Amino acid sequence: MTTLDLQLPHPRRDYLAAGNTIKSWLLTVDHKRIAILYLISVTIFFFIGGAAAGVLRWELLTPAGDFTTSETYNRTFTIHGVVMVFFFLIPAIPGILGNFLIPIMIGAKDMAFPKINLASWYIYMVGGILSLASMLIGGVDTGWTFYTPYSTSYSSSAVVLMGTGILITGFSSIFTGLNFIVTIHTMRCPGMTWFRLPLFIWSHYATALIMILGTPVLAITIAMVAVDRVFGIGFFDPDKGGDPLLFQHLFWFYSHPAVYIMILPAMGVISELVACFSRKPVFGYAAVAVSSLAIAVLGFLVWGHHMFVSGQSPYAGLVFSILSFLVAVPSAIKVFNWTFTLYKGRISYATPMLYVFGFLGLFTIGGLTGLFLAALAVDIHVTDTYFIVAHFHYIMVGGSVMAYMGGLHFWWPKITGRMYNERWAMLSAILMFIGFNLTFFPQFVVGYLGMPRRYHEYAQEFQVLNVLSTAGATVLGAAYIFPLTYLLYSLFKGPRAGNNPWRATGLEWQTTSPPPTFNFDKTPVVTEPPYAYDVEDDEEFDVIHPQGGQTV
Partner 1 sequence: MSSSSLSSTSAPKVPGDPGSADPGQAVHAHANPALAHHFDDLQQQHEAHTLGMWAFLATEIMFFGGLLVAFVVSTTMYPVAFDIAARQLDWQVGTMNTTVLLCSSLSMALAVHFARVANRKMTMLMLLLTVFLGTAFLGVKAYEYSTKWNHHLVPGASYNFEPWQHHPDEAETRLMTRAGVLTANGELNASALPAFQTRTQLFYGYYFTLTGLHAVHMIIGAGVILWLVFRVSKGQCLGDGSNFVEMTGLYWHFVDIVWIYLFPLLYLMDRSS
Partner 2 sequence: MTNFPLFPESASTVAGQIDAVYFALIALSVFFSVLIATILIVFAVKYHHGKQVKRERAGHSSAKLEVFLIGMPTIIGLSIFFWSASVYFHAVRPPADTLDIYVVGKQWMWKIKHPGGQSEINSLHVPLGQPVKLIMTSQDVIHSFYVPAFRVKQDVLPGRFTTLWFEATKTGEFHLFCAEYCGLDHSRMTGWVTVMPPAEYEAWLARGGQDVAPAGGAAKASASTPLSQTGSGAFAQLGCNACHVPTSALRAPRLEGLFGKDVKLRDGSVVKADENYLRESILDPNAKIVAGYPTPTLMPTYQGQINAEQLIELVAYIKSLKGEEEDDAGH
Cα–Cα dist 39/100, whole Å: 10
Q: Which stretch binds partner 2 (CB under 8 A): 107-115, 249-257, 344-352, 514-522?
A: 344-352
Residue type (1 letter), 94: P
Which one, 268 or 330, has the nearer CB to partner 2?
A: 330
Residues 378-407 that bind partner 2 (CB under 8 A): 378, 380-381, 383-385
Is residue 21 exposed (0-12), middle (13-18) or buried (19+ Cβ within 10 Å)? exposed
Residues 261-300 that bind partner 1 (CB under 8 A): none
Residue 196 is a binding residue for partner 2 (CB under 8 A)? no
Q: Which of residues 87-126 bind partner 2 (CB under 8 A)?
A: none
CB of 454 to partner 1, least distance (A): 26
In the list 90, 92, 112, 225, the residue contacting partner 1 (rule: CB under 8 A) is: 112
Exactly one of 18, 44, 182, 449 binds partner 1 (CB under 8 A); which one? 182
> Who contacts 418 (Cβ-Cβ below 8 Å, separation ≥6)?
412, 490, 491, 494, 495, 496, 497
Residues 14-73 close enough to bind partner 2 by CB under 8 A = 65, 70-71
Give 418's strand partners: 496
What is the C-alpha to C-alpha distance for residues 87 and 99, in angstroms, rounded to an integer?
Answer: 16
Please report whether residue 343 would count as binding partner 2 according to CB under 8 A: yes
What phi, psi does 481 have (nearest 5°)? -80, -30
Tell which one of 33, 57, 80, 188 touches partner 1 (CB under 8 A).
188
Judged by phi (left if over 0) then psi (alpha if -120 to 50, else beta), residue 454 lies in left
- In angstroms, give the least distance from the CB of 472 to partner 1: 39
Options 131-139, 215-223, 268-276, 316-324: segment touching partner 1 (CB under 8 A): 215-223
Size of the site for partner 2 (CB under 8 A): 93
CB of 289 vs partner 1, minimal distance in Å? 16
Site string for partner 1, 43-62 (x = CB under 8 A): --------------------
Least distance in angstroms from the C-beta of 324 to partner 1: 21
Answer for which of 11, 22, 23, 522 binds partner 1 (CB under 8 A) is: 522
Residue 385 backbone dihedrals phi, psi, to 5 degrees = -115, 180
Q: Is 470 exposed, middle or buried (0-12, 13-18, 19+ CB in 10 A)?
A: buried
113 exposure class (CB count in 10 Å sphere: 0-12, 13-18, 19+): middle
Q: Is the dihedral of CA 508, 512, 513, 516 positive or negative?
A: negative
- Regarding 368 and contact with partner 1 (CB under 8 A), the answer is no
Are the beta carbons of 483 and 426 closer than 8 angstroms? Answer: no
* 368 is a contact residue toward partner 2 (CB under 8 A): yes
Number of Cβ within 10 Å of residue 544's Cβ equals 12
User: Please, what is the minimum distance in Å from the beta carbon of residue 381 to partner 2?
Assistant: 4
Residue 147 in contact with partner 2, rule: CB under 8 A: yes
- Asked if residue 215 lies in contact with residue 253, where contact means CB atoms within 8 angstroms, the answer is no
To partner 1, the closest distance from the beta carbon of 294 in angstroms equals: 20
- Nearer to partner 2 by C-beta: 110 or 228? 228
Contact predicate 429/394, CB 8 Å = no
Supply the DSSP symbol for 516.
Answer: B
Asked if 121 contacts 37 with a C-beta cutoff of 8 angstroms, the reply is yes
Angstrom distance (rounded) from CA 174 to CA 468: 40
Neighbouring C-beta atoms of residue 391, cutoff 10 Å: 24
Choose, by CB under 8 A, the member of 76, 173, 278, 351 that binds partner 2.
278
Amino acid of residue 477: G
Q: Site residues for partner 1, window 244-263 (CB under 8 A)? A: 246, 250, 253
Question: Could you tell me which stretch among 221-229, 295-303, 417-425, 534-542 binds partner 2 (CB under 8 A)?
Answer: 534-542
Q: Examine residue 344 and tell whether it contacts partner 2 (CB under 8 A).
A: yes
**Shorter beta-carbon distance to partner 1: residue 224 or 342:** 224
342 binds partner 2 (CB under 8 A): yes
- The region of 25-33, 178-186, 194-202, 342-350 touching partner 2 under the rule CB under 8 A is 342-350
- From candidates 532, 535, 544, 552, binder to partner 1 by CB under 8 A: 532
Least distance from partner 1 to the Cβ atom of residue 182, Å: 5
For partner 2, the binding residues in 434-473 under the rule CB under 8 A are: 445, 448-450, 452-461, 463-464
507 near partner 1, rule: CB under 8 A: yes
Instruction: Report 152-191 residues binding partner 2 (CB under 8 A).
Output: 153-155
Cα 11 to Cα 17, 443, 512, 513, 516, distances in angstroms: 12, 55, 11, 12, 11
Query: Over the Cα atoms of the chain, what is R_g?
Result: 23
Distance CA 428, CA 477 (A): 11
Phi first, then psi: give them for residue 452, nearest 5 degrees.
Answer: -70, 155
Quick one: which segment of 15-23, 337-345, 489-497, 505-513 binds partner 2 (CB under 8 A)? 337-345
Report if residue 317 touches partner 2, rule: CB under 8 A: yes
User: Between residues 139 and 165, which has the closer beta carbon with respect to partner 2?
Assistant: 139
User: CA–CA separation, 292 vs 204, rounded Å?
Assistant: 9
Residue 384 binds: one of partner 1, partner 2, none (C-beta under 5 to 8 A by kind): partner 2
> Is 10 an interacting residue with respect to partner 1 (CB under 8 A)?
no
- 393/503 with CB nearer partner 1: 503
* Termini Cα distance of the chain: 9
CA angle 193, 100, 44 (to 5 degrees): 145
Q: Establish if 431 lies at the interface with partner 1 (CB under 8 A).
A: no
Among 375, 427, 430, 431, binds partner 2 (CB under 8 A): 375
Using CA atoms, how far apart are residues 291 and 312, in angstroms rounded to an integer?
30
